[in-house]
């Protein structure tokens, strides 16, 4: 029997992106060897340096090219010599939109041995998933500036959501609850009464129905209309400001949080710091019917470029998420277990320069543990 081969497009990107990507690939290959499949990687230099050299942010056929792959692994986008917005919009957001990666999946999970700024909270309290809508809302760029540069100038940027976008995101989030729990192993935040009622987990819609009475009204109505399709999921609603508060005070109240693009961007940085920071926070831009792109949620950390001090675990965990999406769940779990071994026993800190090991040593340790 021939080994299964997955075609992976690698976009190392800017700053420390390439360094963490090397370590992610190292651990992915270790998992592939162990579980009997092959990753056929092709690297693309679509990054800030190429833009500075050529003036081209992304080739016109980039999305078409990437559609030929099974998945995309991305390091980081953002170059100190390029005006903010050009690369982010021109590479990252463009790919998310053109490949219709309508879900941004961001686990908030505190691993053993990792320090959290939340008092008295341990891994059993911080373990939830944020499903951030990834192609709509304030990110569509709908709006404009008129009378620019005058005292009368007006800027508008609209939060745009179609029912279609909202429904497909909500359905994905409902299914996410089902994939995290089972009848025999329900989410531990449920009450006896919920379990009696057949619930196995909870989905919290994070919105702002008291002010954004159009957009989040649509989200809320859609959620309650779809809920009967998922009788095992308990539905819950929380305003975004209160969500931030509870993410700090009582993170154990959350199982799956679903929200729009802008709120999702903001609350996942808060979530990331509660799980140990950008060094460990992973994510995936997912098109469940197409090609998905996996990236650490932090930026390119230019000041640490080339020093070998950046934490590669976020990139490594993003690689694990990629394997899960490809259907290699056991290999994905093996990477995660190896990461847990390293965070519990070896790493002093998740912060750049404070790990007690270099970037490549951390990658080596994870690969070895696999």
Q: Which residues bind ligand IPM (CB under 6 A)?
A: 88, 92-93, 265, 297
Residue 173 site contact among ligand IPM, Mn ion, none (CB < 5 to 8 Å, cut-off depends on kind): none
We find the least distance from the C-beta atom of residue 293 to Mn ion, in angstroms, to be 15
What percent helix, strand, coil does the chain show, rounded to 5? 40, 20, 40
Nearest-angstrom CA–CA distance, 322 and 105: 11
Q: Which of ligand IPM, Mn ion, none does 98 bind, CB closer than 5 to 8 A by kind? A: none
| Strand ranges in the chain using DSSP code E only, listed in sequence order | 4-13, 37-43, 71-76, 103-109, 127-133, 143-146, 154-157, 201-207, 233-239, 256-259, 282-286, 292-296
| Residue choice 23, 47, 133, 265 for contact with Mn ion (CB under 5 A) | 265
Complex with ligand IPM: residue 93 or 338, whichever CB lies closer: 93
Nearest to 264 by CA among 71, 75, 77, 132: 132
Give whichever of 293 and 331 is closer to ligand IPM, judged by the CB atom. 293
Site for Mn ion, residues 283 to 302, rule: CB under 5 A: none
Q: Which does 92 bind (CB under 5 to 8 A by kind): ligand IPM, Mn ion, none?
A: ligand IPM
Smallest distance from the beta carbon of 2 to ligand IPM, in angstroms?
Answer: 37
CB 77 → Mn ion: shortest distance, Å? 11
Answer whether 313's CB lies under 8 Å from 275's CB.
no
* Pair 358, 309: CB distance under 8 Å: yes
User: How is residue 137 annotated by DSSP?
Assistant: B
Residue nearest to ligand IPM (CB): 88
88 binds, among Mn ion, ligand IPM, none (CB under 5 to 8 A by kind): ligand IPM
Measured from the CB atom, the residue of 97 and 111 that comes closer to ligand IPM is: 97
Comparing CB distances to ligand IPM, the nearer of 95 and 200 is 95
- Using CB under 5 A as the binding criterion, the count of chain residues that bind Mn ion stands at 1
User: Are 134 and 95 spatial neighbours (Cβ–Cβ below 8 Å)?
Assistant: no
Of 265 and 336, CB closest to Mn ion:
265
Residue 294, beta-bridge partner list: 73, 284
* Smallest separation, CB 88 to ligand IPM (Å): 4
309 binds, among ligand IPM, Mn ion, none (CB under 5 to 8 A by kind): none
Backbone angle region of 141, left / alpha / beta, with phi > 0 → left and psi within -120 to 50 → alpha: left
Q: Which is nearer to ligand IPM, 299 or 308 (CB)?
A: 299
Nearer to ligand IPM, 202 or 300 (CB): 300
Q: Quote the CA–CA distance of 39 and 307 in Å, as a whole number.
A: 28
Q: Is 345 helix (H, G, I), strand (E, B) or coil?
A: helix
The residues that touch Mn ion, with contacts defined as CB under 5 A, are 265
């Amino acid at each position: 029997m021939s080994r299964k081969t997955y075609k992976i497009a690698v976009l190392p990107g800017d700053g420390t992106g390439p360094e963490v990507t090397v370590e992610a690939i190292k651990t992915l290959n270790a998992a592939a060897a162990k579980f009997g499949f092959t990753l056929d990687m092709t690297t693309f230099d679509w990054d800030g340096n190429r833009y500075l050299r050529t003036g081209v942010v992304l080739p016109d056929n980039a999305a078409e090219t990437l559609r030929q792959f099974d998945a995309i692994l991305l390091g980081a986008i953002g170059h100190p010599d390029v005006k903010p917005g050009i690369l982010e919009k021109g590479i990252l957001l463009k790919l998310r939109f053109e490949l219709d990666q309508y879900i941004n999946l961001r686990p908030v999970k505190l691993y053993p041995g990792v320090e959290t700024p939340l008092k008295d909270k341990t891994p059993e309290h911080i373990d939830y998933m944020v499903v951030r809508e990834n192609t709509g809302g304030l990110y569509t760029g709908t709006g404009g500036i008129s009378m620019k540069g005058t005292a009368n100038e007006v800027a508008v940027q609209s939060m745009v959501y179609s029912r279609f976008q909202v429904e497909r995101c909500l359905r994905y989030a409902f299914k996410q609850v089902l994939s995290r729990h089972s009848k025999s192993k329900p989410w531990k935040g449920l009450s006896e009464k919920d379990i009696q009622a057949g619930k196995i987990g909870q989905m919290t819609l994070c919105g702002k129905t008291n002010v954004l009475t159009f957009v989040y009204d649509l989200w809320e109505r859609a959620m309650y209309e779809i809920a009967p399709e998922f009788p095992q999921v308990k539905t819950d609603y929380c305003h975004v400001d209160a969500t931030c508060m509870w993410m700090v005070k009582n993170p154990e109240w959350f199982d799956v949080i679903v929200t729009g693009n802008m709120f999702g961007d903001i609350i996942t940085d808060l979530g990331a710091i509660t799980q140990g920071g950008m060094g460990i926070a992973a994510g995936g831009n997912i098109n469940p019917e197409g090609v998905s792109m996996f990236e650490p949620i932090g930026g390119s950390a230019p000041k640490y470029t080339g020093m070998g001090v950046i934490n590669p675990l976020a990139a490594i965990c993003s690689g694990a998420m990629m394997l899960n999406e490809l259907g290699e769940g056991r290999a994905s779990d093996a990477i995660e277990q190896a990461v847990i071994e390293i965070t519990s026993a070896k790493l002093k800190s998740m912060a750049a320069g404070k790990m007690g090991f270099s970037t490549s040593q951390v990658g080596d340790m994870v690969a070895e543990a696999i």
